[in-house]
Structure 1
């Protein structure tokens, strides 16, 4: 199986510097806000989103060093992602993140939300400092998309009429938008022509959709220890993902369990069993594979390089997480 360490070797030094810089970029004067942000920056995340920015930056500047603005874009990307995790964990009432206690479980909901808002504001400030209006628009759209995704997810809880299209739209807003638009922003900073920049966007969009669909499958197939959060938590919270939507087509009783919000003893266990008995997980794997493989052709506009190869191999890594 492809390891993240080997995959990101072309940008290993970039990621090491990013990790060192992030705490300095927080700049929070209040010690609780600082401690909250530092807690999540210090956990053992894979830094996939900034790694994509670094790889795309190097792939679009194959014979040059990336600029300080590319590096700052990667840092902003991780700040936005981290801010979204604060809010996600409050909404989902998650007690664990990457196997560690969540910020809201340590500091309370109010601090977690304020810390998330603070990081969004800090990211916006550094974004404006890049002095590139197109990049500002791209990353501002990401922040807007996060909010839209959260609102859609909240309104669609336990809604068995949710369509696959609506699920994919929400998935784009909450996950793929950041990957797609930050990759696109790297191309903008590299001065690529518009057509190539659009290909970069579509690479990120497809990869981001595949990544989240795989995450949604793992919620049913991995243990709590492996996930770093309770297994089956999305379904229990009423967040209907691809495996459930496909299973609903085959298992009518699943509708009953979801619509009564698992209010009776044994409901959630029965629902999980019905998902596993259906072809929902298998069909979701095919959907993830469709998007992962759909990302690769969009890299062909870039010159051959070690970084481009790593971006292509990243699609395999996303799917390999299932096995």
Structure 2
């Protein structure tokens, strides 16, 4: 099975360019914000989101070349994603991300919040300068969705009465909206007709949902190393994801533990055993597989080329994190 890095091979040079451009775009502003931004862009993410935009742009161009506006869209996508991570880490009080100290633990909370705001503002400014109102609307929507997802996540903590629909909406806002809307925006910049734009949106949404469900499964099955954060941290924080919601249907005892917020000794271990001992993980995996095959189907029409092959393989690579 290929890794994400191997999949992004067709746009490897583009991603290198993207990183150096991002550093100059952030510009010599305030030294602390500069340091925070530098730290973020070197923290070694996989760059999947801008990678998807670049792969799509190359697939959609007849000559396989990238336009400056597509490059800028990829940069804006990475800025928005990075800004959301900074704010997430503050809200979650995470000390590290991918093994690197988070901005607020390296500087302080105030700097982290400002650095996130600064990146969102930068993204909005560069977005406006693309001079394409449709694209501006698409990515402004993402920034709204990210905040909405974070608020929803907080509102439904330890809430065993929430619906599966609520979970999927929150997952869409937090993870899939950026991929769906930036994929569609790549199509808009390429002048595609409406039904093709819809297909790109479906691809991004279903891929994002598959990605989130896989992440949620790994919270129960992965090691701290694999996750880059302590295992079961979502459940411990009261965030009920697909495996917990499925397990609640089969193991009502889990509800009591969640509702008392794992306040007694061994509550969390017991909850984990209830989830792992049910069909919840298998059902969650089937859910992720369904999203992944929807994503593949949605882009079957792209012209055959190295970038298209990478995009078609991406859903399987997302699922392969479970093996």
Q: TM-score band (shorter)?
A: over 0.9
For the Cα contact (< 8 Å) 1:94–1:102, is it kept in 2? yes
Question: How far 1:23 moved relative to its partner?
Answer: 1.5
Question: How far 1:16 moved relative to its partner?
Answer: 1.0
Counterparts of 2:295 and 2:225 in 1: how far apart (Å)? 31
Is 2:222 the partner of 1:191? no
Which residue in 1 is equivalent to 2:318?
318
Question: How far 1:143 moved relative to its partner?
Answer: 0.3
Question: How far 1:64 moved relative to its partner?
Answer: 4.1
Is 2:115 the partner of 1:109? no
- Residue range with higher mean Cα deviation, 264-273 or 145-154: 264-273
Which residue in 2 is equivalent to 1:165?
165
Partner secondary structure for residue 158 of structure 2 = coil
Is 2:252 the partner of 1:252? yes
Which residue in 2 is equivalent to 1:223?
223
Which residue in 1 is equivalent to 2:86?
86
Q: Relative to structure 1, is the Cα distance of residues 260 and 40 closer, same or farther in structure 2, using a 3 angstrom cutoff? A: same
Question: How far 1:83 moved relative to its partner?
Answer: 0.3
Is 2:63 the partner of 1:60? no
Question: How far 1:62 moved relative to its partner?
Answer: 3.3
Gaps of 5+ in 1: none
Counterparts of 2:248 and 2:96 in 1: how far apart (Å)? 29
Which residue in 1 is equivalent to 2:141?
141
Partner secondary structure for residue 181 of structure 2 = helix
Q: How does 1:281-292 map to 2 (within 5 A)?
A: 281-292=281-292
Normalising by structure 1, what TM-score? 0.98
Which residue in 1 is equivalent to 2:40?
40
Partner secondary structure for residue 240 of structure 1 = coil
* TM superposition outliers: structure 1 runs of 4+ over 2 Å: none
Counterparts of 2:273 and 2:102 in 1: how far apart (Å)? 28
For the Cα contact (< 8 Å) 1:56–1:307, is it kept in 2? yes
Partner secondary structure for residue 249 of structure 1 = helix
Question: How far 1:109 moved relative to its partner?
Answer: 1.6
Counterparts of 1:64 and 1:255 in 2: how far apart (Å)? 53
**Any idea what the Cα deviations from partners look like across 1:37-67, whole Å, max 9, x if unmatched?**
2112111110000000001101111324110
Which residue in 1 is equivalent to 2:76?
76
Counterparts of 2:223 and 2:303 in 1: how far apart (Å)? 41
Partner secondary structure for residue 43 of structure 1 = coil
Gaps of 5+ in 2: none
Which residue in 2 is equivalent to 1:301?
301
Normalising by structure 2, what TM-score? 0.98
Question: How far 1:3 moved relative to its partner?
Answer: 1.4
Which residue in 1 is equivalent to 2:3?
3
Counterparts of 1:29 and 1:16 in 2: how far apart (Å)? 22
